[in-house]
Amino acid sequence: MIVNAFPDQELQALILNNRNILVSVWQDSNKVGYCTTIHDRTEWPVKNQKRPKGTSTSAAITKQPFYMFSPPVGCKEPYEHTRLLPIPGAIDDYNCHMGGVDIADQLQAGFSTQQRGVKPWRPLFYWLLDTTIINAFCLSEHRRKAKLGHGKDKVCSAHRAFREALVSELLKDSLPKAPKQVYITKNTTLPNI
């Protein structure tokens, strides 16, 4: 069964006609839709998964795999806390390697340059500016930590300090101050030689 999840018919036709694209939905604590070109549907690594909390949005659906078939006598809750379950390879890769994107999003959320505007190119410009600043910060942190070696890192707010230093350097007058021009008038006293 193919569900029409794509409002753009051209995109849907491209995905359905290309056999190298896997489009799927995975039920985690919520439904997660994903599209991948490097995984196929045969990769299902078995991982230790935690049972969702009772307050989870889809707790009734997602806790079913954690049901104990023969719970011990006097057990209040017939669900295990963790269980080995197969998950799609794309979801496993995302869970293992998602840190970089999430960290960049967190860094961008604190100090965003996004502003509203009428011009259609401005959001792209501000996004590129944010991304460039975050990449520069990541490179400077990597360099700073490499110099630090195995010593203890005592910097609490490196991102804020980096942003402040960047702003002060960008606003600093780049031209050296020229000496003040002295004009000789009839009232000027000249030194005795």
Compute the distance between CA of residue 163 and CA of residue 16 in angstroms, rounded to an integer: 45
Could you tell me what percent of the chain has a pLDDT over 70?
A: 68
Q: For 43-87, how does the pLDDT look when each residue is reduced to its tens digit (9 = 90+)?
A: 888 888 777 776 766 666 766 666 666 666 666 666 667 778 788
Would you say 107 and 162 are in contact if contact means Cβ atoms under 8 Å apart? no
State residue 1's pLDDT score. 36
Query: Domain segments of the chain: what residues?
Result: 9-97, 98-145
State residue 9's pLDDT score. 60
Compute the distance between CA of residue 94 and CA of residue 38 in angstroms, rounded to an integer: 12
Query: How many other CB atoms sit within 10 Å of the CB of residue 88?
Result: 20
Residues of the chain with pLDDT under 50: 1-4
Query: How many other CB atoms sit within 10 Å of the CB of residue 125?
Result: 13
Would you say 25 and 85 are in contact if contact means Cβ atoms under 8 Å apart? no
